[in-house]
């Protein structure tokens, strides 16, 4: 059975179990999503379900996006994501909500980490930095040598250096579903998930049960 949703990270809170223990929970406003397209092996070479999420004004979509959604008689949605699936039990135009998941089941949550902008090697990679004494007034957070001299006379690709930090695609695996609120389209995930508040996340059935 196909299980997947697109949602928006709301933030974190806590819930208490029957023994009074506080459990950290991430709230995700998941769905409702619409099945915008079905990918089939005989036609596309692979099997997948395409979902749409986040209603938006029609004027903000391109002509191709409008035509794609108009063919399926689906409300104008902002985000489209594909989910690989071996068995597909949904059809184009179907509406999917958080009711497909159950409390206690496990999911994988995919999101993009917070962007930190340009960062130095100390913050980005945890470098120790230079000496703090003996006249080294400007070497405290310097990376030091990054390559050899004449040979090879360049810096190798992949060397840890200053650069853009964050905004990386991260998957949190085997996250337990703490609670479900179908009326408010809320999904409570046990523990933290990647991304800032309001960030787009994708929820899938856990691959590693």
pLDDT 10s digits, 93-107: 888 999 889 998 999
Give pLDDT tens digits for 2-15.
Answer: 889 999 999 999 98
Supply the pLDDT for residue 196.
Answer: 94
Domain ranges of the chain: 4-116+165-205, 117-145+158-164
Instruction: Decide: 9 and 28 in contact? Cβ < 8 Å.
Output: yes
Supply the pLDDT for residue 208.
Answer: 86
CATH topology of domain 4-116+165-205: Elongation Factor Tu (Ef-tu); domain 3 (2.40.30)
pTM of the model: 0.84
Supply the pLDDT for residue 203.
Answer: 95
């Amino acid at each position: 059975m196909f299980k997947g949703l697109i949602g928006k990270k709301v933030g974190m809170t806590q819930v208490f179990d029957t023994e009074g223990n506080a459990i950290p929970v991430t709230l995700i406003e998941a769905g409702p999503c619409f099945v915008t397209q079905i990918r089939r092996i005989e036609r596309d070479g692979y099997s997948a379900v395409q979902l749409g999420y986040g209603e938006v004004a029609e004027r903000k979509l391109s002509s191709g996006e409008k035509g794609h959604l108009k063919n399926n008689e689906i409300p104008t949605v902002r985000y489209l994501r594909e989910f690989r699936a071996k068995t597909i039990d949904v059809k184009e135009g179907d509406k999917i909500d958080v009711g497909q998941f159950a409390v206690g089941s496990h999911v994988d949550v995919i999101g993009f980490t917070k962007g930190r902008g340009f960062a130095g090697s100390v913050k980005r990679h945890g470098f120790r930095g230079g000496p703090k004494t003996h006249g080294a007034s400007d070497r405290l957070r310097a990376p030091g040598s990054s390559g050899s001299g004449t040979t090879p006379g360049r810096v190798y690709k992949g060397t840890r250096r200053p650069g853009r930090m964050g905004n990386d695609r991260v998957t949190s695996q085997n996250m337990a579903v703490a609670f479900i609120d179908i009326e408010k389209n809320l999904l409570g995930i046990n523990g933290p998930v990647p991304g800032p508040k309001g960030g787009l996340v994708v929820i899938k059935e856990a691959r590693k049960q």
